[in-house]
Amino acid sequence: MIPGGVNSATRRIGPPWAFDSARGARVVDLDGRDYLDFHAAFGAVLLGHADERVARPAAAAAARMDLVGLGVTALEVELAELVVEAIPCAEMTISTMSGSEAVAQAVRLARAVTGRRRILKFQGCFHGSYDAVARNVISPPERTGRWDPLSSGILPDALEHTLVAEFNDLASVQSLLEEHSGEVAAVLLEPTPHNVGALLPEPGFLEGLRELSSQHGALLVFDEVISGFRHALGGFQELSAVTPDLTTFGKAVGNGYPIAGLAGRADLLSEFSSAGGPVMLAGTFNGTASATAAAIATISVLKDPEVAFYEHVYGLGDRMRAGLREITGDLGVPATTTGLGSVFVTYFLDGPVRSYRDLLRNDDHAYLTFHRRMSERGFLMYPMALKRNHLSLAHTADDVDRTLEVADQVLRVMLRDGDLAGAERAR
C-alpha cells in the first residue's frame, strides 16, 4: 500500500528494514536485532532516542493542547526567545514543520525582498524537496556542476533559475554573480555540506561569500538544517563568526519531533504576511504544541552546563576520527576520515577533500561495503556512498571503542575479499 514500502525514498536502502523501538543510542528492528545507531534519523536525533527530558515535556504539552491554529501559544513565544538568543543572525524567527518548508520560505522571502529571480547554490548541498533547490547534490561526474535535477515533474523554469557553484571556490561564485549581475536573490549553502559527508569551509571562504553577497545585493542564507544546534547552540555561524542574513534550522532542534524554522534579520522577516508584509506565511501545523515543547526541551538540555553536551560529542567525535585514521593508516587503506564534532565520515580516497569534485574520487564500492558490513554487525551506518555518521549524547566512549574494534575487523575482511581496490593499487 505504501509505494516502495517506505515514506521517504532514502529509507529504502540496504535490507528491507522495519523498526520496532528506539531508545538512547540503540534501535531495535522487528526481528529483535539491536543496533548502535549512527544514522540517527539523518541527524534529527541529537540527544539520543526517546530522551525522557524531551519526551516528557512533549507528552505533557500534547496532553494540555494539541493545536488551536489561531493566535499564538506561550510555547511558541518561549521557543522564539530561545532561538533569537542562540543564533547569531536571528532577530526574528518562524516555526515550520520541516526543513524543506523553512528553505522554501527563505527562497521566496529572498526573491520578494530583492525583486530578483535567481538563487545560487553549491554542488553537493541538499536543501530539501522544494522545487527551486532540487538539483545537483550527489551528481555523477558528467552532470557535476551541470543540469542534474533531483526529480522529474519539476518545471525546468524553477530549476533553471538556480545557479550551481563550487564549494570552497570563491571564483566560481564571483563569476556567476558577475555573469548574472542584478539577478541573484540569494546565495544559499550548507556552511558544512553534510549531505555529502562533511566538507568543511576553508578559512576565508564563508567570509568571502559574505562579502560577495553583500557586494552583489544578494542575501546570504545558511541552511543549518543539519549543522544548527548540532555543532554549536548558534549553529556553524557561531563557530565561523560569519553572520548570514537568513538561516534555516531543523532536524536536531526537536530531537526527532517534526519541527524546523527560519530565522534572520527583523527587517526581512517583517515582510511576512503575518506582520502585514507581502510574503505569504501559512502552515496549519506550524508551532504545534508537542513539537514546540520538544524543541524547547532539547535546547534546554543543550544549554545545561551540567550536561556539557558539546564537550561530550566533540570528545567522542575526535576519538572516533582519530581511531579510524589510525586503523586505515595501519592497514594501508587509502582513506580520508573527516567531520566535525558529532559528525564523522571515512571517505575511501586520498585527500585533501575541498569540494564535491574531490569526492568523485571516492571508492563508492568500498564505502558502501564498509557501511553495509558495519550495519550487519549491529553498528548502523547508512549504506549509501558519501553519507555521514552521527554521534549523540547517548553514545559513550565505550560505544566508540567497540565501533573501532569492529571497523578494524571489517576493513581486514574487506582487504581479504578484494573490496578495497584502492588499497591493492597502493601496495
Which residues of the shown chain bind ligand PLP in the complex (CB under 6 A)? 42, 98-100, 103, 126-128, 190, 195, 223, 225-226, 250, 260
Q: In whole angstroms, how close is the CB of 133 to ligand PLP at the nearest point?
A: 8
Residue showing cell 571503542: 401
Q: In whole angstroms, how close is the CB of 97 to ligand PLP at the nearest point?
A: 8
Say if residues 303 and 384 touch (Cβ distance below 8 Å): no
Q: In whole angstroms, how close is the CB of 43 to ligand PLP at the nearest point?
A: 8
Q: In whole angstroms, how close is the CB of 226 to ligand PLP at the nearest point?
A: 5
Closest residue to ligand PLP, Cβ-based?
99
Q: Select 192 or 338, whichever has its Cβ closest to ligand PLP.
A: 192
Which candidate, 385, 389, 411, 399, places its Cα nearest to that of 330? 411
Say if residues 253 and 44 touch (Cβ distance below 8 Å): no
Q: Select 197 or 422, whichever has its Cβ closest to ligand PLP.
A: 197
Q: Select 86 or 107, whichever has its Cβ closest to ligand PLP.
A: 107
Q: Select 42 or 309, whichever has its Cβ closest to ligand PLP.
A: 42
Q: In whole angstroms, how close is the CB of 232 to ligand PLP at the nearest point?
A: 16
Separation between Cα atoms, residue 259 and residue 110, nearest integer Å: 22
Separation between Cα atoms, residue 110 and residue 246, nearest integer Å: 9
Q: In whole angstroms, how close is the CB of 7 to ligand PLP at the nearest point?
A: 12
What DSSP element (H or E) covers 345?
A: strand 343-347
Which candidate, 410, 325, 413, places its Cα nearest to that of 375? 410
Q: In whole angstroms, how close is the CB of 3 to ligand PLP at the nearest point?
A: 18
- To the nearest 10 degrees (0 to 180), the angle between helices 289-303 and 52-64 is 150
Q: Select 103 or 293, whichever has its Cβ closest to ligand PLP.
A: 103
Separation between Cα atoms, residue 168 and residue 296, nearest integer Å: 34
Q: Select 22 or 343, whichever has its Cβ closest to ligand PLP.
A: 343
Cα 207–Cα 150–Cα 118 angle in degrees, nearest 5: 45
Q: Select 37 or 183, whichever has its Cβ closest to ligand PLP.
A: 37
From residue 132, give the alpha-carbon distance in Å to each of 9, 154, 238. 19, 9, 27
b (16+ CB within 10 A) / e for 278-302 = ebebebebbbbbbbbbbbbbbbebb
